[in-house]
Structure 1
Amino acid sequence: MYQSHHGWLRAWLHRRLGNVFDAEDLAHDTFVRVLRGQSVAQPEELREPRAYLTTVARRLLINHYERQSLERAYVVSLQSLPEPLVPSELDKAVLLETLRELDALLNAMPAKARTAFLLSQLEGLSYEDIAVQLQVSVRTVTRYMALGFSQCLRLMLQESCA
């Protein structure tokens, strides 16, 4: 599957991104995602592999654009800080890497779990309010939050071991 469709997928992504390096990275990530078993069917069983690869690649492309947007917002917010509060270049790099890791952590969670975690941590909503908004039980929100916190703990442990 990789040999048959990699070149085509890379060209498809290059047309959308205008950047061969990002296209190569996203094409690789697409195949990694498919081959890791996150797909509905095994790659050799797909009737329309290019349609499936396009769907997976489109999702990764959206994540790519979201990360770029997050990075641009971060840079803009830094530019608005008074001079004494502007972080050093090293601090900026560390913060940007942390933002990328948090983005990856959140994207690894199911959509409702991610939404519940963000509503709690950023909006300060109670579990009951989140349950109403997501139309799930409070117990389910509790499970979502446990998943979010375990993802954060996993990230922290990876950082301390690195």
Structure 2
Amino acid sequence: MSVAELPGQQGLHLLYSDHHGWLKGWLYKGLGNAADAADMAHDVFLRLLVKPASRGFSSPVDARAYLCAMARGMCVDLWRRREVERAWLDTLAAQPEPFEPSPEFRMMVIERILEIGAVLARLSDKAQKAFVTRRGRSASRAAPRPRRRRRRAKWCSTPCCSTWTTPMAR
């Protein structure tokens, strides 16, 4: 009996029992870490449980191809998240010693960066470049510039002078 012929939970159980070990080994080759491979394999099946495949699998080859495609996408998400976390930790390391944000703040910043990345991924290349260029310029100007005090013009109060002057610097 193929997976396509079985109702939801039984089909998923059969798919899990037939392909979990294989998927974990395949992920281990790509990730190089047994713990990450096991987590990712379970996450793939958890995602299948939450959002089942739109069609059944007529053969084990189809099932493995679908599982590989899901796992590959989830690995890309994992690598992207780790890259963002690494960049954030590098930024924190460059901060002065007294600055130590809370773990909640760190997670909030990382989540926000990932949300921005997801929104940018939906834009055209031209729009992405415009956004990054604009934000890069404003970030370089984010440091406060020393402000020059503007001298206010005042009327000279001496009777001999009838012109605008600026106060003398003290």
User: Which digits, 9 at most, give the CA deviation of each residue in 1:109-128, with x for residues without a partner?
Assistant: 8x538x99xx87x957xxxx
User: Which digits, 9 at most, give the CA deviation of each residue in 1:121-147, with x for residues without a partner?
Assistant: x957xxxxxxxxxxxxxxxxxxxxxxx
The partner residue of 1:4 within 12, 18, 31 is 18
* Counterpart Cα distance in 2 of 1:49 and 1:70: 32
With over 3 angstroms needed to count, the CA separation of the structure-2 counterparts of 1:3 and 1:21, relative to structure 1, is same
With over 3 angstroms needed to count, the CA separation of the structure-2 counterparts of 1:99 and 1:2, relative to structure 1, is farther
The partner residue of 2:97 within 69, 80, 83 is 83
Number of residues of Structure 1 aligned to a counterpart in Structure 2: 119
Measured after TM superposition, the shift of residue 17 of structure 1 is: 1.1
> Secondary structure of 2:37's match?
helix
With over 3 angstroms needed to count, the CA separation of the structure-2 counterparts of 1:20 and 1:87, relative to structure 1, is same
Higher-Rg structure is 2
Give the 5 Å matches for 1:95-106.
Answer: 95-102=105-112
For 1:134, the equivalent position in structure 2 comes to: none
- TM-score between both structures, scaled by the size of structure 1: 0.57
For 1:61, the equivalent position in structure 2 comes to: 75
* Counterpart Cα distance in 1 of 2:42 and 2:116: 21
C-alpha RMSD over aligned residues: 3.4
* Counterpart Cα distance in 1 of 2:84 and 2:55: 33
With over 3 angstroms needed to count, the CA separation of the structure-2 counterparts of 1:32 and 1:123, relative to structure 1, is farther
Give the 5 Å matches for 1:13-162.
Answer: 13-37=27-51, 39-42=53-56, 44-45=57-58, 48-84=62-98, 86-88=99-101, 91=102, 93-102=103-112, 112=122
Unmatched 5+ stretches in structure 2: 1-14, 136-170
The amino acid that maps onto 1:98 is M
Measured after TM superposition, the shift of residue 39 of structure 1 is: 3.0
For 1:152, the equivalent position in structure 2 comes to: none
* Counterpart Cα distance in 2 of 1:101 and 1:39: 27
Give aligned-pair identity as a percent.
33
* 8 Å Cα contact 2:81/2:114 also seen in 1: no
* Counterpart Cα distance in 1 of 2:52 and 2:40: 16
Measured after TM superposition, the shift of residue 21 of structure 1 is: 1.1
The amino acid that maps onto 2:46 is V
More helix by share: 1
